[in-house]
Chain A
């Protein structure tokens, strides 16, 4: 046996066959499951947007989305308008929620005007403006949907991540972290300031809603800094639109 499998020709042939078999298998799985996965991602976006504006099935301390079956119906019920802001011009587009924030960020880097999606929702007579934002955590991408009122006071937020450390950075998607953002002001004395994920802000119960700070997660400094940074850089782009609302 060892003679046969030690020869160079056998080794090369084995490698070739292996690559073809494994490559074919992976390609087949990926393409066979593509439509299912895309559909799941589409529904998840709707669930995320609804979650941020408070349409969810939260129980106790756990964050629960509306079910995938109900998501499309609730989405059209609560989301009244989907806007795209580009170069200061606002247009309506009912597919705006499918805009890939990652691609738009890359576009903006090479000098093109970034398309900014904004979803206008209504619940119990109140209007919510929900913006998707995206940034970097410790290991990989982090993103969020932030619901605000017309004064840029946060009314709800949903955070998610691709590969933050379980038990540490991954906890940005826990209720205790996300709920801290509710009521926080993004503006300070008329100028945009963002919300800082701060260590040692002497406000662990988060009673001061106008300090532009929420309490950080122990052991997740870099993920927290990433959250602060993406709020600062991405939500700032929406400030001109909110100023037009005041007029």
Chain B
């Protein structure tokens, strides 16, 4: 195994399946609903959270023995907010185009419950390496759900994937539109993301009965 012990591997794989932050812990729902109308936005958000959660978990873990418990939530909030702001500023100075694409996500990252949730539940009680793995695992679990939801919403809502039309042209009536198919504009609305997440939760629990609470 070398680098990763069995326990360490579980830190990454568990959030992808039976301990998924969105479908099992129901954290980070707000951003999962808001920005999944497009596959590209889902992917970008997934990568951004991966970075912030990985680094943030390590920082909090290194500070875990000196953080006063009375104000730990505020300290966590400050750490994640300043991390995100510094990254945003550096991007604005050196990769302006990229920063314009990402800046709308900044507010969503800071308020993402998964980040605070992992700081509180894991990084405060574990070493930096394990915290890093936990952060990566949870961010991947989050990203997977976002990408699944984004895939269905963009495909059924706009008939495109990554902005490329895959079902034909809805105005010129080519491809499947020639047979009377119509884009479901309702898929672009946030409530439909909730329904898609609900379906994922349903599928997951019907496959693994152990996940069903009484």
Contact = CB atoms under 8 A, between A and B. Distances in A.
Contacts of B90: 29, 33
B70 A11 contact: yes
A14 B69 CA distance: 11
Contact of A167 (B38, B69, B82, B92): B38
Contacts of B71: 11, 14-15
A15 B78 CA distance: 11
B65 A163 contact: no
Given A15-B71, A166-B37, A40 B93 contact: yes
A14 B67 contact: yes
Contacts, number: 89
A18 B86 contact: no
Main secondary structure of the interface of B (DSSP, over half): helix
Interface string B42-76: 00110000000000000000000111111100110
A170 interface: yes
A6 B94 contact: no
Nearest to A8: B70
B89 A166 contact: no
* Chain A residues touching B, majority SS: helix
A24 B14 CA distance: 39
B171 interface: yes
A115 to B, nearest CB: 26
Contact of B78 (A18, A164, A167, A219): A18
Nearest to A174: B163
B86 A26 contact: yes
B198 interface: no
A25 B41 CA distance: 30
Contacts of A106: none
Contact of B82 (A6, A14, A22, A44): A22
B68 A165 contact: no
A5 interface: yes
B35 A167 contact: yes
25 contacts: A5-B65, A5-B67, A6-B68, A11-B70, A15-B71, A15-B74, A22-B78, A26-B82, A33-B89, A36-B92, A40-B93, A44-B96, A61-B163, A68-B96, A163-B103, A163-B107, A165-B35, A166-B41, A166-B105, A167-B36, A167-B41, A167-B154, A168-B37, A170-B104, A219-B185
Nearest first, the 5 closest Cβ-Cβ pairs linking A and B are A167-B37, A167-B38, A166-B41, A36-B93, A219-B188
Interface of A: 1-2, 5-6, 10-11, 14-15, 18, 22, 25-26, 29-30, 33, 36-37, 40, 44, 61, 68, 162-168, 170, 204-205, 218-219
Interface of B: 34-38, 41, 44-45, 65-71, 74-75, 78, 82, 85-86, 89-90, 92-94, 96, 103-105, 107, 154, 157, 163, 171, 185, 188-189
Given A14-B67, A33-B90, 10 more contacts: A14-B66, A22-B82, A29-B90, A33-B89, A33-B93, A164-B104, A166-B38, A166-B41, A218-B157, A219-B185
